[in-house]
Structure 1
Amino acid sequence: MAFGAPSYAQDVAPEAGTDINDIVVTATRRAEPLQKVPIAISVVGGDLLRSENRAGLQSISAIVPSLNFRNTASAKDQALFIRGLGTVSTSPGVEPTVSTVIDGVVLARQGQASMDLMDIDHIEVLRGPQGTLFGKNASVGAVNIVTRAPGDAFHGFADIGYYTGGDEWRLRAGVSGPLAGDKVAFSLTGAYSHFNGNVTNVFNNKTVNGFRNAGVRGKLQFTPSEDLKITLIGDYADAKSTTPQGVVSSTTLVAYPTNVVTNFPAFASALAPVVPRADNRAINSNYSTFAKDKNRGISLQADWSLGDYTVTSITAWRGWKNDQAQDQDRLPAATTAFPQQHDIGNLDFDQYSQELRLASPKGQFIDYQVGLFFFQGDDKERYQRITTLATGASFLGVANYSVKNKSYAGFGEANLHFTDQFRATLGARLTRDKLRYSFVRTSTSPTAVAGIQTAFTAGGNTSDTGFSGRAGLQYDLAPSAMAYFTYGRGYKGPAYNVAFSMLPQDTMALKPETSNSYEVGIKSRFLDNMLRVNIAGFLDKFKNYQVNFFDTFNGSPVTRLVNAGRVSTRGVELDVDFQPTRALTLSAGGAYTKARVDNFICPAGANASCQINGRPLPYAPRWKGNVRASYELPVSDALSIRLTTDANAQSKVQYSINQTPTTEQSAFGIWNASLGLIGKDRWELNLVVKNITDKSYSTNLGTFGQGVVRFVPRDDRRYVGANFHLSY
């Protein structure tokens, strides 16, 4: 598992053996020990994130084998994948397949989850359908983010970190404690980070592919009586990135399935002095690309004890603004063969949600949770593209579109305790979806020009009712071992392909995506609780899988959101933790995932090849794993040294469902290490080395008209850094 070692020194000297810390999770909407929950879960601790400079979900995906992340130039286009399945689409009319939840509030758009994480207690990655308790957009899993609760005693902290290879700074500080005796407590955390980048724009000799993030998060917790707790949470995050629209890694395209090679020497010449290659970290662009995001929200949670029962209400609003400017042509000037294409996009999204749950007491033959859920999302977007020819002539296309969706649900889940060792779980959720869109595109050209389709107007609405649920059995093989089997039914609502290049064939609603999932697992402890071994096997089958398929229309490349037909994923996951002494902690995680297209339904009129049955799904490496070792050596009663090393590796991965050979990332591995000096209960200094072997790789590969672009990760080259933590 990816759960970090303790952040502070132990009070006693190392001994021959020790129990592995119990991990408490909220995967069932109750606080329960990890080893008792019949769900495959990876847990990442907040202290580990801080000490290893892991601030976002992309960095977490490197240490959770079943989790993968799609990196792009803008948060709007990013996505999470679990067990090889996720949603790749820029359309506001489609839901993510992986749900992201923070303090009980579902984030409806994938881009909302791209912000830096603040004040994190821990993050749970729940694998397999979680639709009963976590909502309809959790058909392959959920990422449950839990922030720290206000403390009973006054506490403060400050963090500062600096890292080379782009002049990266990270600052964070917070306070927590009581305000009015034991009735009111608060916490307030602020964070700031800056990274110049690791890509050079030779056009103006500036460094790009960086970011500047700032945010604040606060909590007020009221306990007017022993039976009532009210928590008010507010947060605001402001981010700007300078990620280019890909770095050109090749000016060659290899067709699938023919493997016909086409070279574009004219584009390579226009790109000079940049030389495309697999590890290229340079662009030649006369247009400054950027993406700005503002995420903010407020939620009110009330937990009311009615005897042995608990009523929970979560009322929330969240807003997200995204503004971006992108250079689609990737050249310093227009040429006779290659016009300039510059894009500007603006997004404004608001969501409102209300959840009401009733939880029965535990310890009876039946314990249960029932609830109601309401969600409303309002999205407005404007996207424009300017195409400029070498002659100086310009054409403008502008699309204005909006999507409104409402969702109503009732759900319940019960645990039946037949004996102390034998239990069953039954859960169901009924969801009603309503989706409506409007779209207007204008163009200054009466005919299609490079990158701009003709004027088009459309609108529509759809609705659907879906069922999701879970049924399972679990049996205690021994006091320290539990086996379980679970069947899950996943549902994701209907969708529309609403985007700048929307075409007449996109006006019909896509069918809901449904799945049947089977999972069997064992959670166990051995050697007097020094060794924890959890293993799970799974099989997920999807019908009407919603995915982007790359195509051409009127001579221009387009992406089409389609119901791909039937896809499946199957495999085995292993999490191991071993703590033979208080000083030494060892852990490992691995996943074998075979995610593939079973029966692809070819869109009418498609120009791209549809011969992809049996081929792998995007962002689904067959093998992925990580290992970690941490040794903490006391130097004195007040000081200890901690040595940590970790490595993660994965097999080759295909980034496109079109299966083009040039969008396949070969196998790679990354090795990191750190040295920590720890002052008892007060301070901690970590010296960090990332990517020790200086391995270059790509977090995404995509094709365009004249070649392939790569997206460059933060640790694409070796860098070092230090972070200091002070607690008071």
Structure 2
Amino acid sequence: MKPHHTQLRPFRRRGISLALAAALLSAGIPTAFAVEETTKAENKQTSADQEAQPALGTVTVTATRREASLQSIPVAVSVLDGRKLEQSNLNSIQTIANEVPSLTFRQQGGNKDSSIFIRGVGTISTSPGIEPTVSTVIDGVVYARPGQATLDLMDVERIEILRGPQGTLFGKNASAGVINIVTKEPSADLHAYVDTSYYEGGEKRIRFGLSGTLVPDLLYASINGLWADYDGNVKNLLGGRLNGYEREGARAKFLLTPNEDLDITLIADYTHGTNGVIAVPYQTTDSTFTQAISPVQVSKGNRTVRSDGKNEVTDTNQGISAQVDWRINDYTLTSITAFRTWDNKQNTSVSGIGNNYDPARIATGYPATWDRGTVDSSQFSQEVRIASPKDKFVEYVAGVYYLKSKTDEVYQRYAETISGANYFGRSDYGVENDSISLFGESTLNFTPEFRGIAGLRYTHDELSFDHVRNSNVPSGIQSAVRASQPLRKGTTSASEYSGRLGAQYDLSKDAMVYATYSRGYKGPAYNVFFNMFDGNNDTAPLEPETANSFEIGLKSALLDNRLIFNAAAFYTKYKNYQANAPEHVGNNVYIYRLINAGEVSTRGVELDVNAKVTSRLSFSGSLAYVDARIDNLNCPPTDAACQVNGKPLPFSPKWKSAVRANYAIPLNNGYVIDLGTDYIWQSKQQFSLIPQTDATIQEAYGIWNASVALSTQDGWRFALVGRNLLDRSYASTLSGNASVAQRYVPRDDARYFGVQVRKDF
């Protein structure tokens, strides 16, 4: 006889799949991303029966650190189905950002500088001395650095986007939200697949996997691999294409079930990727800059550069983890032990010209500059928690969490100045962090309809840094490379509470309302970076960032579960907001310094709807109104451009929406044709904190996508995918000032088509 938990796995997997076909609203996952194939027995159901009883299923999530129905938890959550994301060529956190209206992504020259934003709030900094504001969690393991999660995702079951502060259960780097990624469990039955795709622009992908039983009733395993290659969508006039990538990876998962009350899950993963990210000239009023980049034609839709340098970032991300789930008298004791490493190498230009020495270009006033950097990061984490039995007066999850992380960086910069001087500098610096926390959250079932929520987390942080720089820049000279600095060290610590209080009430068996107050916390930080210097207290620690958030929500299922409608309204105030702010230090040189920038706030409303119109036709839509603004910014005293109080936070469009539809056509021979389409629109957004100019505003735009797929009974699937059918050019990031601006070009910047072929065995 199979262990009890293993017996449930095939049923749970099927239930989740069918549910994802229906859940939209609070899951934010459009129906086009939620429909999964049914079992062979379910395929035999007559069309008449299907038309008579169309309904949405139940989506199960782990947003509360235990399995629960999405519609039953007092948390605003969006859910994306991994299989459908792959089918739409959405393979990373960056590419899914358009799918959830409250989620945005900041692309920069390197993965270590990229950031995730939820409800308009995120972290913008290149320093290893600061934590992300949005936490990325994969199979229960928190990723300490945001760059660790920028490569392709593998074998994803679903992605849960938890909106708003989640510090009680997920920790200090979740003060704006959580990206909770859950991978697929090994199957009991033998299953294999090969998935290949080709898209215009020379983008090629291969995925494969094998899953099944190694030892009956005891050991189950799965292994998955990927390879991807993309030429890029930016043309270099000096030869070749840029903005592409090459990636490969593998992931193995083992499930050991010694008895019906014990599960042991072991995971090992490895991904390696090389990205050629580059910014292209977007807008300029400076004739000397135009002369320097000639014959590039600057425009809002430009995808051409003249670069004589190498822009390439390489990442290697790997780790192992062990999760033990032990069920004792309806209690579940969980232990998650993990060790991860992340290596990042950067070879980039920080000018709009290129890397190589060119006196003619120096004469124009735009000297060449290049950067070389390496990041070596490692982390060890241990979490132990207990979940009480359900359906009691008091239900709770409580535990202890420990994280130790260490990041070492080496950064080198070579700059050619207008005067003809050649400057070179190298900085060696690092950060160590030790964090321990105790947490617990309980649900009090006062009546069958009325429940209270109370949670608290205590966190203690120890943070230290070291930094030394050697350069040939004379003291007192202001340039892109600063003068040498001796070895400096610093240590700080902080202890803080975060928590949640709230109540929820069932209006009926199909509708629930809730109201919560949450306090978020992000630990202390150091402004550790290449040009770190003693002035302006750069070596002093930053105070922890805190958030106070209020949220009310409605979750409902109407028309016999054929329509799901969810809504949430929120207000969050952040104090000691940690952000990069530019400071003018002379000779047109700006230093971006990490500071406690002041106070910011975000408020808004989020709506999600999911409808099963007929058994063949599904519809979903989501809309977010987010007003994220700067309330009071601590400006550098010498910077007049810093008068931005009342202006919007960067990377936060005020309006964003997504609508999707899917129509399935069963054929007489057992084949099924799936027609899918979606349209994503957002209002204009500002990309700069300081200064805020028209040059760094992305105007409103909409992206229309569509697909048609043919599935057979013997496991084949053939699909044609069209992305950005209206050929709308847009930017993932704009940088610069009123005279010169550059943009980062997303994959979907222009219309393209692709074909996919998948075979399941």
Normalised TM-score (structure 1): 0.96
Q: CA RMSD in A?
A: 1.4
Contact 1:682 1:727 in 2 (8 A): yes
Q: CA deviation at 1:16?
A: 4.0
Q: How many aligned positions are there?
A: 713
Are residues 1:266 and 2:288 paired? yes
| 1:451 maps onto 2:486 in alignment | no
- Counterpart check, 1:516 vs 2:562: no
Q: Which runs of 5+ in 2 are unaligned?
A: 1-27
**2:289 match: secondary structure:** helix
**1:554-633 alignment runs, 5 A limit:** 554-555=586-587, 556-603=589-636, 605-633=637-665
Deviation at 1:411, TM superposition (A): 0.4
- Deviation of 1:387 after TM superposition, in Å, equals 1.4
- The answer (yes or no) to whether the contact 1:577–1:586 under 8 Å persists in 2 is yes
Choose the corresponding residue for 2:505, options 475, 485, 492: 475
Partner of residue 677, structure 1: 710
| 201, 212, 221: which one aligns with 2:236 | 201
Shift of 1:202: 0.8
Distance 1:595 1:476, change over 3 A: same
Say whether the 8 Å CA contact 1:8–1:680 is kept in structure 2. no
Q: How much has 1:685 moved relative to structure 2? A: 1.3
Alpha-carbon distance, 1:680 to partner: 2.6
Match of 1:122 in 2: 158
TM-superposed deviation, 1:681: 5.9
Shift of 1:67: 0.4
Amino acid at match of 1:476: D
- How far residue 221 of structure 1 moved from its aligned partner, in angstroms, is 0.9
- Tell me if structure 1 keeps the 8 A contact 2:362–2:420: no
2:530 & 2:619 partners in 1: Cα distance?
A: 49
Structure 1: distance between partners of 2:102 and 2:463 = 31
Contact 2:339 2:381 in 1 (8 A): yes
Aligned partners of 2:695 and 2:738 also within 8 Å: no
Q: Corresponding residue for 2:570?
A: 538
The one-letter code of the counterpart of 1:365 is F
TM-score, normalization by structure 2: 0.92
Instruction: Tell whether the 8 Å contact from 2:362 to 2:416 is kept in structure 1 after alignment.
Output: no
> Structure 1 pair 707/390, CA: closer, same or farther in 2 (3 Å)?
closer
Q: Is the 8 A contact 1:267 1:706 kept in 2?
A: no
Of residues 215, 232, 248 in structure 2, which corresponds to 1:180? Answer: 215
User: Cα offset for 1:679?
Assistant: 1.1
Among candidates 250, 269, 287, match of residue 283 of structure 2: 250
Report the Cα offset of residue 391 of structure 1: 8.2
- Which residue is 1:698 aligned to? 731
What is the CA–CA distance in structure 1 between the aligned matches of 2:182 and 2:668, rounded to whole Å? 34
- The equivalent of 2:438 in structure 1 is 410
CA distance, structure 2, for counterparts of residue 536 and residue 568 of structure 1: 17
- Name 1:283's counterpart in structure 2: 305
CA distance in 2 between counterparts of 1:575 and 1:662 reads 33
Range with greater deviation from structure 2 (29-38 or 7-16): 7-16
Give 3-state SS (helix, strand or coil) of 1:60's partner.
helix
2:191 matches 1:161 = no
Matching of residue 152 in structure 1 with residue 191 in structure 2 = no
Match of 1:298 in 2: 320
| Shift of residue 251, structure 1, vs aligned partner | 2.1
Unaligned stretches of 5+ residues in structure 1 = 253-263
**Could you report, residue by residue, the CA deviation over 1:587-607 in whole angstroms, capped at 9, with x for unpaired residues?**
00010000001111223x442
CA distance in 2, matches of 1:540, 1:310: 33
Name the structure with the higher helix share. 2
Report how far residue 554 of structure 1 moved.
3.6
Q: What's the offset of the Cα at 1:520?
A: 0.3
- Match of 2:540, SS? coil
What is the aligned counterpart of 2:414 among 376, 386, 394? Answer: 386
Counterpart CA distance in 1 for 2:595 and 2:419 is 38
Following TM superposition, by how much is the alpha carbon of 1:565 offset from its aligned partner in structure 2, in angstroms?
1.2
Q: Distance in 2 between matches of 1:705 and 1:350?
A: 40
Distance 1:383 1:672, change over 3 A: same
343, 346, 362: which one aligns with 1:324: 346
SS of structure 2 residue aligned to 1:270: helix
Corresponding residue number in structure 1 for 2:36: 7
SS at match of 1:708: strand
> Quick one: distance in 1 between partners of 2:410 and 2:526?
17
* 1:391/1:549 CA distance change after superposition, 3 Å: closer
1:36 Cα deviation (Å)?
Answer: 0.3
**Corresponding residue for residue 748 of structure 2:** 715
- Contact kept, 8 Å, 1:98 with 1:140, in 2: the verdict is yes
Do the aligned partners of 1:17 and 1:579 also contact (CA within 8 Å) in 2? no
Match of 1:552 in 2: 584
Distance 2:640 2:339 in 1: 41
Residue 141 of structure 2: aligned partner: 105
Q: CA deviation at 1:608?
A: 4.8
Deviations 1:118-155 (A, max 9, x none): 00000000011111111111011100000000111111
Matching residue of 2:519: 489
User: Does the residue aligned with 2:362 lie in a helix, a strand or coil?
Assistant: coil
